[in-house]
Amino acid sequence: MTFDGDGLTAQQMFSMGQGLTYNDFLILPNFIDFAADDVDLTCSLTRTIKLKSPFVSSPMDTITEDRMAVAMALNGGIGIVHNNLPPERQAAVVMAVKRWRNGFILDPAVLSPDQTVEDHDEILHRMGFSGIPITEGGKPHGKLLGLVCKKDVDYVTDKRTKLGALMRPMSQLVVARVKTGEQCSLEEAKDIMHKGRVGYLPIVNENGELAMLASRLDSQKSKDFPLASLDDKQQLLVGAAIGTREDDKARLAGLVRAGVDVIVLDSSQGNSSYQVNFIQYLKKEYPTLQVIAGNVVTGAQATNLIRAGADALRVGMGSGSICITQEVMSVGRPQGTAVYQVGKAAAKHGVPIIADGGIQNVGHVSKALALGANCVMLGSLLAGTSETPGEYFYRDGVRLKKFRGMGSIEAMTQGGESGKRYLSETQAVQVAQGVSGSVVDKGSMMKFGPYLHKGLQQAAQDIGFRSFREVRARVMDGTVRFERRTTSAQQEGGVHGLHSYEKTLFASKL
């Protein structure tokens, strides 16, 4: 083997016939002539969806429901809602994320004047907002009669009181009027709300019929979260996981109605007729819906799913901290090698890949992105944050939260749906491919997210490039070099030689 200058090229490093993971190598630094803030972390999640941060939360039942999905989207990434839920509940979680932030509420919940405060409270509880238009007959886009907000009903003791007696009528409302077929821009709506000092702006056509609704709170959210991942309606992006069984077609239809942006086909081994057939079905029924297929670890697996119509690939098998697939099933691949080899195959077709598993810190993220990943999927790194499902508990004075693999017996039996990820057919005996455990409280994702973003910018700066797109290009042409690490070198690179120390991930002024 010949060595051209310092270090190894990626091709040299991964042609040694050994499976490598993130701790087995380092990226050699290059010249810096820019600030870390200049690093652009924009990336492709799928063929058509772009993110401002390359972070995706894993569809695990102890990681991603609505609170995590909202937090991920606000910080520039995206959350994938797990499918260890009844179909209607998973769709409701997706809808809650889409409703959290609306540039315009195109199909606002409405009530009639004959409905009651109790009906209003039910919508407030379900949807999370209280500016409810009152229309003639309670029709979704009927003639607007008035508006009821939370403060209008807060002190009403009789929940049977009709909303017609409490609503602010049209004569007292600030409204925007447009002609049928025309639109009011978001900036115009914000300006009208600002001048009128109102929280909600109904937009009506020339017949007085409700076209849409704008919210001042959503306008403020735009300023607070400039990295937010948004669709073309200015709603938060959100994904959902499903299986590939026949009954998953009904689940898929419900998720589409809820407004899901991307579907993840959730399988530990995605190179199967089940997944190929489901991709083809999905693309036929919902041609514009983006689908992430996988999991895969070889170029051949990747090529099969890309040919079937996959818009992105999820890469990794047995590398998660709570996954024991490699141990139990004797199949899989070390994650560094898997990302590099699948990345090369997918790049030929212009298909993004998501490195899923084995991410323990920001350094692992930067290595995954350098080797060919466009995004990384996070599970254990997010476990224990306050936005994950479940309650905290104490053990030996330490505040903990449950974290379990979707292949654990607990997840497969308690949730009911996750067994599909590991079983290709009905089986009487379930073989665990994951474990259950607990992790220490990490605080809020709203503080942890900015730390991840900033840490990744600094990593790209040290490598010497202003984006990981550029890093990947320079990896492929051999400009960016790597160094293998021995066990002693890995120990040297970590904390050592101290009697004790305190591990603090980040300091925040938030």
**Which sequence positions are flagged as catalytic?**
323, 421
Q: How far is it, in rounded angstroms, from Cα 419 to Cα 431?
A: 10
CA 142 vs CA 108, 130, 136, 147, 173: distances in Å: 11, 19, 6, 13, 17
Integer CA distances (angstroms), 282 to 11, 84, 141, 243, 417, in order: 36, 20, 31, 12, 20
Q: Rounded to 10 degrees, what is the CA torsion of 414, 417, 422, 425?
A: 110
Q: Which of 482, 493, 487, 494 is nearest to 25 (CA)?
A: 482
The token duo for 469 is 């797109």
| Residue (of 262, 266, 265) closest to 236 by Cα position | 262
Strands 25-27 and 482-484, how do they pair? antiparallel
Q: How many Cβ atoms from other residues are within 10 Å of residue 348's Cβ? A: 11
- The conformational region for residue 256 under phi > 0 = left, psi -120 to 50 = alpha, else beta, is alpha
CA atoms within 13 A on the CB side of 281: 18
CA 85 distance to own-chain centroid: 17
